[in-house]
Structure 1
Amino acid sequence: MPKKKIHTGGCLCGAVRFEADAPAGRPHTCSCKMCQRHTGSLTATWVEFPRDAVRWVGPAGAPATWRSSDFSSRAFCSTCGSSLGAIDDQPTVALLLGSFDRTSAQDLKPTYHSYKGGRPKWWCIEIREA
């Protein structure tokens, strides 16, 4: 039986760590104002997983959350403040790609972009299909 692929990652200080079972689902980029403010970046890169495919394994356990909408909470480390993603009411955990230890896995590559209108006109986002 082949070994199951696991993606790992965590916050800047290492207090919050995660393991997420591959394959990842719906990797995408987003330039909405909420994502911009959550990450401090013009574009966030998200990778969604079923909630039961993500385990919080660091010494701090699960990340702190802030309720950002009627259906989701933003996740962050309460020690260093690193943004980690969003935990939705539906059984989805969306992790920010920058929090992964290894970002080059093929199943983490974004396949579409949400809210292109939220980016400045000079900000070029190009997603090429493999």
Structure 2
Amino acid sequence: MTAKSYQGGCLCGWIRFRATAPVENPHACSCKNCQRHTGALSAVWLEFPRDRVEWTGPGGEPAVYRSSDFSSRAFCARCGSSIGAIDDAPMIALLLGGLDDCQPPELAPSAHAFADGKPTWWREAVVHQAWD
């Protein structure tokens, strides 16, 4: 039986990846580093063992910026899209929004780190609005 894989990439398609299950530690984070890296109030991360992530696009591996003592933030050097974080430990954390298909239930975050980093006006309720 073939392991499930997840594909995705940046806005311009230069950086592409394939990550193969298992997905580890799907979680949201609202720390200031994540906010600045993504431009969003919260980011959803999916962790994969480093040997289960393959860079498949013409750009190869993403560019990185050393953001802490243990991790570098990954991004596309062409379009600037945030891709994830490449940790010193043998893990790569990919941003859920970069996947081609974000729907599989196993990708749902099971925790929210630094939830107190969200603004006080943030509401957990989902508002559905048609943009048609």
Q: Does 1:28 align with 2:27?
A: yes
Aligned to 1:46: 45
Pairwise CA RMSD: 1.0
Instruction: Tell me the residue number matched to 2:129.
Output: none
1:22 CA displacement: 1.4
Structure 2: runs of 5+ lacking an equivalent:
126-132
Percentage of matched positions with identical amino acids = 58
Structure 2 match to 1:85: 84
**Alignment gaps of 5+ in structure 1:** none
Please say if 1:114 is aligned against 2:117.
Answer: no
Separation in structure 2 between the aligned mates of residue 22 and residue 71 of structure 1, nearest angstrom:
23
Question: 1:121: Cα distance to partner?
Answer: 1.2
**Is the partner of 1:18 in helix, strand or coil?**
strand
Q: Distance in 2 between matches of 1:18 and 1:125?
A: 30
> Structure 1 CA distance, aligned partners of 2:68 and 2:2?
38
1:60 and 2:59 matched? yes
* 1:124 positional shift: 2.5
Separation in 2 of the partners of 1:14 and 1:34?
A: 24
| Secondary structure, counterpart of 2:11 in structure 1 | coil
* Distance in 2 between residues matched to 1:45 and 1:10, nearest whole Å: 15
* Structure 1 CA distance for aligned equivalents of residues 124 and 16 of structure 2: 29
Q: 4+ residue stretches of structure 1 with deviation over 6 A?
A: none
Residue 122 (structure 2) aligns with: 123
Report the equivalent of 2:104.
105
- Contact persistence 1:23–1:107 (CA under 8 A): no
Stretch of structure 1 that moved more, 80-89 or 117-126: 117-126
- The letter for the 2-side match of 1:23 is P
Figure out how many residues of one structure are paired with residues of the other and give that number: 125
Question: TM-score when scaled to structure 2?
Answer: 0.92
TM-score, normalization: structure 1? 0.93
Residues of 1 paired with 2:108 and 2:47: CA distance?
12
Matches of 1:33 and 1:106, distance apart in 2: 27
Cα separation, 1, equivalents of 2:124 and 2:17: 28
